[in-house]
Every structure is written in C-alpha cells, then in structure tokens.
Structure 1
Amino acid sequence: MNQLLSDFFSVFLATIQDVLPIVVIIFGFQLLVIRRQIPRFSKVLIGFVYVLIGLTLFLLGLEKALFPIGRLMAEQLTNPEFIREWSGSLDQSTALHWSDYYWVFLFAFAIGASTTIAEPSLIAVAIKANEVSGGAIGVWGLRLAVALGVAVGIALGTWRIVTGYPIHWFIIAGYIVVVIQTTFAPKLIVPLAYDSGGVTTSTVTVPLVAALGLGLAETVPGRSALIDGFGLIAFASLFPMISVMGYAQITEYLAAREKQKRVLAENEGVNNAL
C-alpha cells in the first residue's frame, strides 16, 4: 500500500508539471488577452483537480496494468513451445514460419476491434457525426467501420513485425490507397474519415497496441524493439481512413443501385400501363 501511494504521488506531481503549461495558457489568455473574469471560477478549479486525479489514475493504471498485460500476452503468444504445440510440431530444431504465429494475428485483430469499439473519443465523434448529418451517418456503422480498419491494420502490423518487412513500404502503399479513395469517395465522408484515423490513437487503444508491439518485437527472434516494436500505432491510424471511406463508397454504391432498380421498376410499370 505504501508503495502504491508513493507511486500515485510521484505520478501526480509529474501530471501537475505536464498540465501546468495548459493551465497557464488558458488562464493567461482569459485574464490578459480577453480580460474577463472566469465564470464559476471555483467549479473550474474543482474540474482541474478532477482532471489531475483522473490523469494520474489513468497513467498509473497504464504502468501497473495495461502495459504489463500487453507485454505478457505478446510473450505468451510468441513462446516457441506454445506455437509448436498448436502447430502440431514439437521438434525444437524446426525453424518457425510466419504462418505459425496465427494466434498472434488473431489476437491483434480482436484486441484492435474491441479497444476501438470502447474508445471514448470515437464514441463522441460518432454521436456528433450522426447529429450533424441528420442521421445519414450511423453511430454504430461508423464505429464498426473504424474498428474493422484498426483491427486489420494492427493484424497487418503484427505480421510485419514477425516477417521483418520495412514499415515504410506499408505506410507508402496505404497512403497511396487513401489518396485514391479521397478522389472517389463521397465528399461528406472524407473529413470524417481523416479524423477517424486520429481518434483511434487515444486512451484505450494506444496503451495495449504499443505494449503488444514492443512485447512482440522483444520476443520474436531477430527483431529489435526500437526498430520493429514501434510503428504499430501508425497502422491503427492509417487503416481506419481506408475502411471508413470504403464503407461510404459501398453504401453509396448500394444506394445508387437500389435507386436504379426503383427507376427501372417504375419505368416498367409505366410501359405496362401503356
């Protein structure tokens, strides 16, 4: 308990140092530039205290729980004995193939989808997009599209770590796809798709994904935690843009096809009547 309290206060002091510049800028502009008193000043101060406590607990939870869990899962899933047991070969002399790591890819896909669905920032963006579009953009449709993009991106990123291919190949190819999609996707969805790539790299997704990437790079033979472990977040940011614009393109195509069917049915009805 004493160690936990000590860790809490050390993280709390570090959080105050991080938040202090934000407080100085906000209060400085309010008092020196706008030159108006802050309404409900006492409630604002209480809110900042809540922010400090919340950030402290969150950072402490990352250090004590999420990072160790992600690293532990990566170590267990990449354990040669575990892989050989599931692949049906216990021969220690046989070199592992990238396809033997399929449990890692499945776990990466599942953890990417589940953390994105639970991402508070994505929920907020989806609700606002639904309100602004008058219901044209569904809350769950957007959340599932982003979750699918993150899941595919992280699974592909873990496959890259296992195989050792350079990351810039995937990033360049991904952004070429994004540029092409931007040209043909509905204009309404393009800004939202770009923002969707940013909201995924937030409080829930980043800790687990970063821990998974670092743990995987440390346990796969021949990989460097510094060179191969980082960059997994880039996949989580890139592929939601592709999936959201793809979702909009498919929806637009299906709507146009349905409209064309109705027009043909109406024309056929008119011709029969004549």
Structure 2
Amino acid sequence: MDLQRLLAWTEPLFGTITDVLPIIAILIGFQVMVLRRPIPNLGRVVLGLVLVVVGLACFIQGLQSALFPLGKLMAAQLTDPAFLGNTGDQEHTTAHWLDYHWVYLFAFAIGFATTIAEPSLIAVAIKAQQVSAGTIAAGGLRLAVAVGVAIGLTIGVFRIVTGTPLHYYIIAGYCVVLLQTAFAPRSIVALAYDSGGVTTSTVTVPLVAALGIGLSSNIPGRDPLLDGFGLIAFASLFPIMSVLGYAQIGAEITRLRARARTKRRQES
C-alpha cells in the first residue's frame, strides 16, 4: 500500500520534470548562448525551479486525488433522477431541462467562485490597475470576469442538458463580441480579450472539465466525448463579453455624469 502511494506521487513528479525541462533549457540557453551573460542569483534561481517542479507535481496530484473526483461526484449527484424528483425506472428516465435548476445554480456558483480565486486573473487585474493609473479597478475587473465565467458555464451546462450543438452558441457569442468591440472603449478591448484567456488556468479548468464530463456521463442520451467538452470555451468567451459590457456601462455612466455636471453649471 505504501509503495502504491509512493508511486502515485512519483509519477506526476517525473512527468512535471519532463515537462519543465524544455522550458529551463530554453531560458538557460538564451541567457548563456544568446545574451552571453551568467545567470544572476544562480542559487536562488535553482531553488525557485525546484519549488516550481515540486509545486506543480503536488498540484497535479491534488487534481487527480480531489478536484477531478469531486467534480464528477457533484455532477453525478446533481443529475441523479432521485434528486431531480423523478420516479420509476431511473435507467430510462428523461428529465426536463427545467428539472436541472440545481445544476445551473451550481455551475454559476462554481464558475464565479473559481474565477475570483484564479491567481492569473488576480495578477492581470493588479497589472491593469497599475498601468491604467487606477482608472481600471482591479476588483471591478475581477468581478466582471467572474460574472462572465459564471454566466458562460451556466449556458454551457444548459447546452449539455439539452444536447444542442456547441457551434451555435460559440458563433452567436463571437458575433456579440465583435459588435461590442465596435462600440467599446479602445482602452479596454485588448484587456477584455485577454480576460478570456486568464480564466482558463489552474483553478478553473480542472473543476470545469470534471463538471462537463461528469454531467455528460450521467445525463441520459449524452456522450462524454461529444457533449462533455466545450465548457472551457464558454468560460473563455463570456468573460470577453462581460468585460466589454462592464467598460461600456462605465463609459456611459461617466458620460451621463459629465452631462449632468455641465447642465448644473449652465443652470447656475
């Protein structure tokens, strides 16, 4: 038993080392062969690389031991016919899409919570606030992205429940994004597009992937390969829409306030 546990930990460790080695080789190669300069603070760099490898290995093992099984378990429990209130032969019971309201609520909540806790989003939001000299609030940006992910996952779960084609939603969504881009403030467009990428990182992706596969495995008539994937696409698309909308609403509020101040000056 102890040997099995040891092997379970060594496998992600060696896998992480294999994945990280090319990155280390490129960085060291450019530093030594292209820039022709010694690596500064070599001891600290080596220690940092060791921590990165060990941390990633622990993270991967944690995903396999906790997050993936937990996501599948929640999906199975939320789609259980007994939980949905259906009776009779559970194997052939088909629930109405409205019966999955707890699944939609769970998708919204988990999308919001994981995005708020996403380290990459926190880093981008802080940088955006610094570069914009405070005109873009880090908290507001994180909230806008989290709401976008939550809405996207809810719609993505609805797609899995109903079995409708993925490309309908994606094409329609990007049409909305293109329309928003034409009217949104130019200063926010690039940041909005980047916001769709930072959400698909270490915290969000494992739970979202497990949720999608778990739902498609337990909902009658759904195929994990055809229907289980695609939630991450929703989690990337809808934050772009929400951040652009957040900027457009902010710009409109600023314009209305400026108009109100001008009107008060004229009246006085």
State the TM-score, normalizing by the size of structure 1: 0.94
Paired residue secondary structure (1:188): helix
Q: CA deviation at 1:90?
A: 3.6
- Please report how far the alpha carbon of residue 191 of structure 1 lies from its aligned counterpart in structure 2 after TM superposition: 0.7
Equivalent residue number for residue 198 of structure 2: 199
Where does structure 2 lack aligned partners over 5 or more consecutive residues? none
Query: SS of the residue aligned with 2:187?
Result: coil
Structure 1 residue ranges, 4+ long, deviating more than 3 angstroms after superposition? 89-95
1:82 maps onto 2:83 in alignment:
yes
- Counterpart Cα distance in 1 of 2:98 and 2:138: 36
- 1:5 Cα deviation from its structure 2 partner: 2.1
| 2:163 maps to amino acid | G
In the TM superposition, what is the alpha-carbon distance from 1:29 to its structure 2 partner? 1.1
CA distance in 1, matches of 2:36, 2:29: 9
Partners of 1:95 and 1:224 in 2: how far apart?
15
Q: Which has the larger radius of gyration?
A: 1
Distance 1:107 1:195 in 2: 26
Offset, 1:262: 1.1
8 Å CA contact 2:31, 2:39 repeated in 1: yes
Task: Give the whole-Å Cα distance in 2 for the aligned partners of 1:236 and 1:110.
Answer: 13
Question: Structure 1 residues 64-73 or 30-39, which shifts more?
Answer: 30-39
Deviation, structure 1 residue 50: 0.3
Residues 118-168 of structure 1: CA distance to partner in whole angstroms, max 9, x if unpaired?
000001111111111111111110010000000000000000000000000
Instruction: Map 1:145-156 onto structure 2 (within 5 A).
Output: 145-156=144-155
CA distance in 2, matches of 1:134, 1:24: 37
Deviation at 1:91, TM superposition (A): 5.2
- Is contact 2:108-2:151 (8 Å) kept? yes
% identical aligned pairs? 59
Distance, in Å, in 2 between the alignment partners of 1:173 and 1:51 is: 40
Distance 1:208 1:137 in 2: 29
Q: Taking structure 1 as reference, are residues 50 and 95 closer, same or farther at Cα in structure 2, changes over 3 Å only?
A: closer
Query: Does the CA-based 8 Å contact 2:129-2:135 persist in structure 1?
Result: yes
The match for 1:174 is 173
Q: 1:27, 1:173 → 2: CA distance?
A: 45
**Corresponding residue of 2:32:** 31
In the other structure, the counterpart of 2:95 is 96
Aligned to 1:15: 16
Root-mean-square deviation (Å): 1.2
Structure 2 Cα separation of the partners of residues 5 and 249 of structure 1: 53
Matched, 1:61 2:59: no
Mapping of residues 237-252 of structure 1, within 5 Å: 237-252=236-251
Cα offset for 1:264? 1.0
Which structure 1 segments of 5+ residues have no match? 270-274
> Which string of whole-angstrom CA distances, capped at 9 and with x for unpartnered residues, describes residues 154-196 of structure 1?
0000000000000000000000011111110001110110110
Equivalent residues in 2 for 1:90-129, closer than 5 Å: 90=87, 95-129=94-128
Deviations 1:80-125 (A, max 9, x none): 11001xxxx5455864100100100000000000000000000111
Q: CA deviation at 1:10?
A: 1.3
- Measured against aligned partners, the alpha-carbon deviations of 1:180-237 in whole angstroms (never above 9, x if no partner) come to 1111000111011011000000000000000000000000000010010001000000
CA–CA separation in structure 2 for the residues paired with 1:168 and 1:120: 30
Bigger drift between 21-30 and 191-200 goes to 21-30
> Match for 2:131: what amino acid?
V
Paired letter, 1:73: M
Query: Quick one: which amino acid aligns to residue 5 of structure 1?
Result: L
Contact 2:94 2:220 in 1 (8 A): no
Take 1:119 and 1:78, find their aligned partners in 2: how far apart are those partners?
Answer: 27
